Each structure stands twice: as C-alpha cells, then as structure tokens.
Amino acid sequence: MNAVTGFGRSSTFVAPVSRVESYIAAHEFAHPTLVIDVDAVERQFRALSAGLVRADGSHAHIHYAVKANPHHAIIERLVALGSGFDAASRGEIELVLGQGADVERVSFGNTIKKASDIRWAHGVGITLFAADAEEELEKLAENAPGARVYIRVIVDNPEADWPLSRKFGCASDKVMTLLGRARDLGLVPYGLSFHVGSQTREARMWTGTLDQVAAIWDRAQDEGFDLQLLNIGGGFPAFYGQEIQAPTSYARAVIDLIEARFSDVPQIMAEPGRGMVAEAGAIAAEVVLVSKKSENDLHRWVYLDIGRFSGLAETEGEAIRYQFVTPRDGDECGPCVLAGPSCDSADVMYEKRPLQLPLSLRAGDRVIIRNCGAYTTTYSSVGFNGFPPLDSVVI
C-alpha cells in the first residue's frame, strides 16, 4: 500500500478523508501549502447559524473573526452568506469592505486602536467599537463621536485549550465606570463583550463565564444602562484529536445557557474564528530529516519543512495538537520530537508530549496536517531563515 518512489520517498496517501486531503494527495507542492475548501467554510457557517437561534426564533448574528484566516475567498463567500465581520485593524476593515461586506455589519473589535485608525473607520461608516479603558473611550469620543461602544470584560476561564490572557478586557468593578464614562463622553454604551477562550471544546464549559457576565449585565441594567448587545466572542472549537461537540448542537447549547441566565438581551453577536475555518483547511508538508541524537536515544527527531515560524505557531505550549497523516500510516508507530526547519532552537513543536509517528517515516515523505485552516497563514513569518511564508490555495 505504501508506494515507495524515487529516493525512498513515499507519497501515496492511503485514504484521503476530505476534499482538501484528496487535493493534496493528487498534487505536488514546492513549499508547505495550506489548502482551503471554501464550501466547507460555507457548511460550517450554515451549521453554526442553525444553532444560533433564540427561543423567540430570532438569530444571533455571526461576525466572523477575520484574523483566523483573512483569505479573500473566505471573506467573499461569507459576505455572500450574509455574515458580519469582527475586524481588528484598518487593514482588516479595508479587506472586508473591499469584498463587499455591509459596513453596518462590521465591528472594530480590537480594544487597542490608534486614534487615526478610529477616525478613518468612523469616516468609512463603522459605528460599533470595542473598548476596555478610559483612554480608549476618549479616543473614540474624539474620533468617532456618537459611536456605539461595547465594553470588553475579563473572564476567568480555566477550561479553554487556548485561553486568552488578561491583555484584553477590564475587571467587573471597572465596567460600570466605563459605561458611565462612555455616556458622559457622548458615546452610546451599547453592550458587553467577552471571550470564553479559544478552543473551548464543549458548550457546558461556558457556564462559569456566562455566570460572571450575566451578573455584570444585570448590574448595568439596574444602574440604568439600557444595554442592547451581548457579544459572546469566539471559542467555538475545531477537531484536533480530542472530542468536541458538533457545531449546531454546540451553538444551540450556548444560546440556551445564555437565555437561562440573562433577563433581557435584545441582540446577541458571536465572533467565531477557529470554529468557522479550521476544519476547512489542511497543510501539505514534507519530512526533511529523521534522526537520533545518540545511539540509544528513545526518541527520534522528525524535522518538517514547516514549523513554529512558518505557520504552526499555535503549537506554542503544545496545547493545540495537530493531526498528522503520512503515507506510512498503518506501519508500527513510535514517539518522536517534532521540529521545524529553521535554525532557531525555539522551532520545536512537540517535545514535552512526544508525537506518535510511523517508525518507517523518512526524509522526503509527504505529510498532511489536518484542520489547519485557522491561525496558520497569518502566523507565518515573511521569510525567516529564507523559508517562504506559508502558501495557500483555495479549491
């Protein structure tokens, strides 16, 4: 089954499981390449939308988090499907508007914005902004007078596989101050936002976070703020080997948890990034070297032509564990340390928890890395060590 060609190179994959894997199996790639199936993005959008339905039949709005994968073909398809967009910069806003997104459905969701970018965004018609600090509200009041603003709240969340730090958001005791300050500055204190942490594998893991935010929401209503929007951020998971809840059932369960806790929320907005695009893409890569550091080493070292600086940055901390497919799957496996090709000692992907790969694996073998559609191309350096940035093609 393992067709061996040329220099011992094995390139025939046994059983591709998706369109992207079939495409990779049938093509040659000069460099590591992300192959994206935009129809799979559409299916995921529809699956998430089907679950984001409230008890009264209305829908929560999806604002795709552009940073997960800004490929123009993805944006174009999501525009056609009526998606909104969570943009973090002037560049992302220009991208989505350039693809025809409705400016009413684009939010400037970064809490850290330059005054000049706020002024520009206001000028092109963006009216919904995030903030988590007084100074940001002052910038908004000056450069986007009258804008609607939602306050980002820090939540404690030990349950996500890729938790977000305290970099974004403010503690609950500060939220009322900021809502009041926004009102005093002539802005519209419009709602609250949070992020449960990326790759939160099951909806029930949202419970603690939603309890915290609901308490803040109720207090704001009690203090006379007529909040309209609950922005629940991202967190929707992708499959990386550990079981996850399916998208429609996940989204429905999150909505149910919200409706059980929040008294009156006129609008809910969700910002899936990973959960929208990760499973729509796979990377075509190659083994460059298999070696042992000493004669009696227990582990092999497997070096790929892709690493931490060329697209697999999320292997940091080894929390996101990608799935690898090789033409030698089915052969006996053993543990290995997996590393990238660059001359930087930090370019090691899995070492604390070694990866199981076929013992027969050797230089030149092709490798498919599954579910890499999110947070790969944009995390790839421009040309560190002369390695080109991660290529992408859409099928």
Least gap, CB of 182 to ligand PLP (angstroms): 18
Integer Cα distance of 169 and 323 in angstroms: 33
Active-site residue (options: 170, 333, 336, 343): 343
Query: Which two three-digit tokens encode residue 212?
Result: 């915290």
Integer Cα distance of 217 and 234 in angstroms: 19
Closest CA to 69 of 394, 350, 395, 315: 394
Q: In the complex with ligand PLP, which residue's Cβ is closer, 86 or 159?
A: 86
- CB burial readout 363-383, b (16+ within 10 A) else e: ebbbbbbbbbbbbbbbbbbee
From the number of C-beta atoms within 10 Å of its C-beta (0-12, 13-18, 19+), residue 296 rates as: exposed
Closest CA to 351 of 317, 309, 380, 305: 317
Is residue 170 part of the annotated active site? The answer reads: no
Q: Which residues contact 202 (CB under 8 A, 6 or more apart)?
A: 237, 244, 245, 250
Q: In the complex with ligand PLP, which residue's Cβ is closer, 51 or 234?
A: 234
Query: Which two three-digit tokens encode residue 268?
Result: 């809910």
Please state, in angstroms and as integers, the Cα–Cα distance from residue 347 to each residue in 195, 317, 342, following that order. Answer: 29, 12, 7
Least gap, CB of 278 to ligand PLP (angstroms): 8
From the number of C-beta atoms within 10 Å of its C-beta (0-12, 13-18, 19+), residue 66 rates as: buried
Comparing every residue's Cβ against ligand PLP, the nearest one is 234
Query: Which two three-digit tokens encode residue 137?
Result: 């509200």
Q: Which residues bind ligand PLP (CB under 6 A)?
A: 65, 67-68, 86, 109, 195, 198, 233-236, 271-275
Instruction: Report the catalytic residues.
Output: 343
